[in-house]
Amino acid sequence: MAIYIPNIFSPNGDGVNDAVEVTAYGLSTYSWAVFTRYGEKVFETNDPDAVWDGTHRGKALDPGVFVVHLQYVNLESGAEGQIVRDVTLVR
């Protein structure tokens, strides 16, 4: 099992680190969500190809630290788990 969640991204349209994407191997299922530091959910998906572009309801969010919460099921063992990480949005 391998999971990668970036810790910083810059959705400025330059084609480099413009979105947060969860890269995972060895999981049978997973879902993830992004929250503000106040606990407001700004993104949620169970689509492994989905990315978060730093927007909420069509509006660009201000720079800051957000929390990514990933829930998963390990393909090999069937064990459920979760990972919580910070990601910083810079403009």
* pLDDT attached to residue 58: 96
What is the rounded average pLDDT for all residues in the chain? 97
Distance from C-alpha of 2 to C-alpha of 55, rounded to nearest angstrom: 27
Nearest to 84 by CA among 18, 24, 33: 33
Q: Tell me the whole-structure pTM to 2 decimals.
A: 0.94
Torsion angles phi and psi, residue 50, rounded to 5:
-75, 150
Question: pLDDT tens digits, residue range 12-55?
Answer: 999 999 999 999 999 999 999 999 999 999 999 999 999 999 99
Ordered by where they begin, the domains of the chain are 2-89 (2.60.40.1220)
Q: Quote the tokens at residue 47.
A: 């689509």
Distance from C-alpha of 50 to C-alpha of 42, rounded to nearest angstrom: 14
